[in-house]
Structure 1
């Protein structure tokens, strides 16, 4: 009588288990060797709020140490692509954009267009597109052809060139990403805020106050010419019913553009406007009653822009209009940064440009 230790089927399962365990161990050892050699990166779930690989590489590799490997180069000069900087990661660019919108008042209310080059063009129809009425089954004769006007925003290169010592960059506690983003955004906001209001259009944006102006109404003025309304007194508002001119200013704007229109003035002018009252003693200016809600004047939002001129004889101290429809800001998609550790040793300069 024979004693059976294992049948054929059980032996096959044991052999498979032994082979499977050995194969898994072998694959695990190979994977560990590749990770240690840097062939592949260890895959771990990303934690909430952790910077992207591109941002960490840009900050720790390029900004702190000048390591240029794996970065996207952007041309800063028209002569050759070799004269270039590096596009900042989306995290840094987003901080710059948010700060610019918060600090630069005109950017927040204008039509900002992202472009890929400095040759942006916009076609505007003057007089609208002709149309006509016909019966349901009547012939459709050709309507008139609209007249197009090409608008070419003046372009120029805005730059910032903040510096930090190499000792600061080597300090791990120094948040170079936040420092650089805030420095660039603050300088850009100050410069572009002035240019959007009174820039001369030569290697910089054309400010709306630098555009031609006339007292004639719509349909008479050429396109690009702004309408002006005087207060009736030199360097001041009229002594009686001073707010009447504000009403005239609002009603001079065509009805389709009043929705979304805003007042723009500096704090000194706003201080004078806030004292205007109605016949029953109510203030025309209504301060904001909730966070994030703008103050209003005659039912329209008020934007403070310190680059607007004070009240004076012949000054254009108050602007009113729909800036989304009337003022275009064309800018490049990303900010570029060129690291310069040689010009001013021991400081490292970061030459940043967003083309406007």
Structure 2
């Protein structure tokens, strides 16, 4: 259930599922779309394209494949913009901001913003039902789990997205 929620909170279209952060219609604010590969200057544009009040609590969300590209970027002095954490429990950083990865984040986008403006509504409790009859012939037991949950970015200007062209 956690994996389905993570996917919906990132990519949902609002029809029968939460509206995801990466939803083009009701999600984030699209900052720009790159025509070529990502550069360190593009990351600076993404950070400073976000309004100042939202940068204080901002962090990145991206796919692991995108992060692999990002880790290779250097600034004009030849220093990597990626800063690995040397303390347990501390996240890695890019340009001084936390980086969170998800297998469900699109490979062609990087999100940067203050995600406290993404509201999640959890309605009621989860229910589980055991299905003995359907699977008994095979010596198995099946389960059905249900929950009601919704999510939406309440303030789209609090999150910026940079689209990457040619990402696989």
**Could you tell me how far 1:350 is from its partner in structure 2?**
2.5
Aligned to 2:96: 299
CA separation of 1:341/1:332 partners in 2, compared to 1, >3 Å: closer, same or farther?
same
Aligned to 1:203: 16
> Would you say the 8 A contact 2:21–2:28 is kept in 1?
no
Q: Output the TM-score relative to the length of structure 1.
A: 0.39
State how far apart, in whole Å, the 1-side matches of 2:66 and 2:89 are. 22
**What secondary structure is seen at the aligned counterpart in 2 of 1:355?**
strand
- Ranges in structure 1 where 5+ consecutive residues have no aligned partner: 1-187, 214-223, 312-316
**Could you tell me how far 1:245 is from its partner in structure 2?**
1.5
Aligned to 1:227: 30
Deviations 1:203-222 (A, max 9, x none): 11111222328xxxxxxxxx
Deviations 1:260-300 (A, max 9, x none): 11111111111111111122221111011111100001110
Matched, 1:193 2:6: yes
Matched, 1:256 2:69: no
Runs of 4+ aligned residues of structure 1 deviating over 3 Å after TM superposition are none
Aligned to 1:47: none
State how far apart, in whole Å, the 2-side matches of 1:310 and 1:354 are. 28
Higher strand share: 2
Q: Matched residue pairs, number? A: 147
- Ranges in structure 2 where 5+ consecutive residues have no aligned partner: 150-168
State how far apart, in whole Å, the 2-side matches of 1:198 and 1:225 are. 11
Cα RMSD of the aligned pairs, angstroms, is 1.9
Aligned to 2:82: 285
CA separation of 1:193/1:243 partners in 2, compared to 1, >3 Å: closer, same or farther?
same
Aligned to 2:119: 328
Aligned to 2:110: 318
> Would you say the 8 A contact 1:212–1:226 is kept in 2?
no
Deviations 1:166-217 (A, max 9, x none): xxxxxxxxxxxxxxxxxxxxxx12212221121122211111222328xxxx
**Could you tell me how far 1:347 is from its partner in structure 2?**
2.9
**Could you tell me how far 1:333 is from its partner in structure 2?**
4.4
Aligned to 1:105: none
> Would you say the 8 A contact 2:31–2:49 is kept in 1?
no
The higher radius of gyration belongs to 1
**What secondary structure is seen at the aligned counterpart in 2 of 1:334?**
strand
**What secondary structure is seen at the aligned counterpart in 2 of 1:283?**
coil
State how far apart, in whole Å, the 2-side matches of 1:321 and 1:270 are. 17
Aligned to 1:161: none
**Could you tell me how far 1:338 is from its partner in structure 2?**
1.8
